[in-house]
């Protein structure tokens, strides 16, 4: 039950505390079985192998900007699994499953924070819905990617994640760099919203080293988390200040900055956000440019990201959820499924020989 706060010294601006189920309790209710565990581990290892150049393929993080309808997410996942099997010799598809949304000012904070989309903030319910959905997608045979925003949520469903992004607003955050240093997945750090690549490179150096920080354990107790450091960090270029940074000059400058920092040249291009001026119609064009760079000899681009959904564009949230269009984003606009499949098939066809040659 919620506990009201009336202490005149502590928690002056806190209305109440409400205890959550512990990570162990939720994991016991929704356990990871051996088959799903194998998919997670294989997904992580494949991404490590791509980053280490032991696997010639390009990895593609693709899916909705945010998840608000679990049934539509499962529908999308089934389509993506079929496409992943078709293109698996060239592209390793990883489904984007984002539950937490950072807000510039105000707005819906995502499925975990507000699963009923009515400002009731049933985080306990959201955590269970999120874990159940991750289990269902993983059991289909798809590895999953998400954004690491809240430093506590990985304890609830981090065992189901194969790739993690640290967003443009949090790449400079010490908390998120420390968290990334202990995550079990490869981690992509996005450049800052102003386009700065150096912020992401600083984050890579920080996350690769051991840290000690406050966290929680499986029983919800506060602990000192001591990490080993994560050596599978990489830069994600997403543009900034309404300017793209996926062009050959920006890629080369990023390569030089990574080299100067003593870091391996691993770059992922986010085809959305400022790289497409948030116009979904431009995402396939960004992808085509990246493919062309690889054909022309680029060796540093190891992955791409696409914001994609069943339906095109985006829609605004209203008080009546029954009026929402099925499979259409409620956050950033996305390309639709038909455009996604066409773009990825064309990319795979063009890259099939080039990626093998690049690895030789």
Region label for 307, one of left (φ > 0), alpha (ψ between -120 and 50) or beta (otherwise): beta
Q: Which two tokens stand for residue 31?
A: 């356990």
What are 222-278's pLDDT values in tens digits?
A: 999 999 999 999 999 999 998 999 999 999 999 999 999 999 999 999 999 999 999
Q: Which residues, in sequence order, are CB contacts of 142 under 8 Å at separation 6+?
A: 39, 77, 80, 81, 84, 93, 94, 95
Q: Which two tokens stand for residue 21?
A: 């189920």
Residue percentage of the chain with pLDDT more than 90: 90
What are 98-117's pLDDT values in tens digits?
A: 998 776 667 889 999 999 99
Average pLDDT over residues 185-202: 96
Q: Running DSSP on this structure, what letter comes out for residue 159?
A: G
Whether 1 shows a pLDDT value over 60: the answer reads no
Q: Of 355, 351, 330, which is closest to residue 107 (Cα–Cα)?
A: 330
E-strand spans in the chain? 3-4, 16-17, 58-63, 91-96, 144-147, 163-166, 187-190, 212-216, 222-226, 233-237, 267-270, 301-307
What pLDDT band is residue 2 in, cutting at 50, 70 and 90? low
Whether 313 shows a pLDDT value over 80: the answer reads yes
DSSP three-state, residue 160:
helix
Residue 4: the pLDDT is: 61
DSSP three-state, residue 15:
coil
- Fold exhibited by the domain 60-359: TIM Barrel (3.20.20)
Whether 205 shows a pLDDT value over 80: the answer reads yes
d(CA 115, CA 66): 12
Q: Running DSSP on this structure, what letter comes out for residue 222?
A: E
Residue 11 to residues 14, 113, 124, 214, 215: CA-CA distances in angstroms? 5, 21, 22, 20, 20
What are the extents of the domains in the chain?
60-359
d(CA 231, CA 197): 18
Whether 95 shows a pLDDT value over 60: the answer reads yes
Cα end-to-end distance, the chain, whole Å: 61
Question: Are 248 and 293 contacting, i.e. CB atoms less than 8 angstroms apart?
Answer: yes
Residue 101: the pLDDT is: 78
Q: Of 350, 334, 356, which is closest to residue 290 (Cα–Cα)?
A: 350
Question: Are 23 and 216 contacting, i.e. CB atoms less than 8 angstroms apart?
Answer: yes
Residue percentage of the chain with pLDDT more than 70: 98
d(CA 239, CA 251): 11
């Amino acid at each position: 039950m919620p506990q009201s706060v009336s202490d005149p010294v502590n928690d002056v601006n806190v209305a109440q505390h409400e205890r959550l189920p512990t990570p162990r309790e939720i994991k016991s209710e929704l356990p990871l079985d051996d088959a799903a565990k194998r998919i997670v581990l294989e997904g992580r290892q494949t991404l490590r192998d791509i980053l280490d150049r032991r696997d010639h393929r390009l990895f593609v993080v693709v899916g909705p900007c945010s998840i608000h309808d679990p049934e539509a997410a499962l529908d999308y996942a089934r389509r993506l699994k079929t496409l992943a099997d078709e293109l698996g010799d060239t592209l390793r598809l990883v489904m984007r499953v984002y539950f937490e949304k950072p807000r510039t000012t105000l707005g819906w904070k995502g499925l975990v924070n507000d699963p009923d989309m009515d400002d009731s903030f049933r985080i306990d319910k959201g955590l269970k819905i999120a874990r159940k959905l991750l289990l269902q997608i993983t059991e289909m045979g798809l590895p999953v990617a998400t954004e690491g925003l809240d430093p506590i949520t990985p304890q609830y469903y981090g065992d189901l994640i194969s790739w993690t992004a640290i967003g443009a607003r949090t790449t400079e955050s010490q908390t998120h760099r420390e968290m990334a240093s202990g995550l079990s997945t490869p981690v992509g750090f996005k450049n800052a919203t102003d386009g700065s690549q150096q912020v992401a490179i600083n984050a890579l150096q920080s996350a690769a080293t051991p840290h000690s920080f406050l966290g929680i354990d499986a029983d919800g107790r506060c602990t000192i988390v001591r990490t080993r450091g994560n050596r599978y960090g990489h830069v994600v270029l997403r543009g900034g200040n309404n300017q793209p940074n996926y062009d050959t000059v920006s890629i080369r400058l990023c390569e030089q900055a990574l080299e100067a920092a003593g870091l391996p040249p691993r770059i992922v291009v986010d085809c959305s956000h400022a790289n497409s001026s948030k116009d979904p119609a431009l995402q396939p064009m960004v992808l085509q440019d990246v493919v062309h760079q690889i054909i022309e000899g680029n060796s540093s681009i190891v992955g791409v990201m696409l914001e994609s959904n069943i339906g095109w564009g985006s829609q605004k949230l209203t008080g009546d959820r029954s009026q929402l269009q099925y499979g259409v984003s409620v956050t950033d606009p996305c390309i639709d499924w038909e455009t996604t499949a066409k773009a990825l098939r064309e990319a795979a066809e063009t890259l099939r020989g080039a990626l093998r040659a690049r690895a030789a």
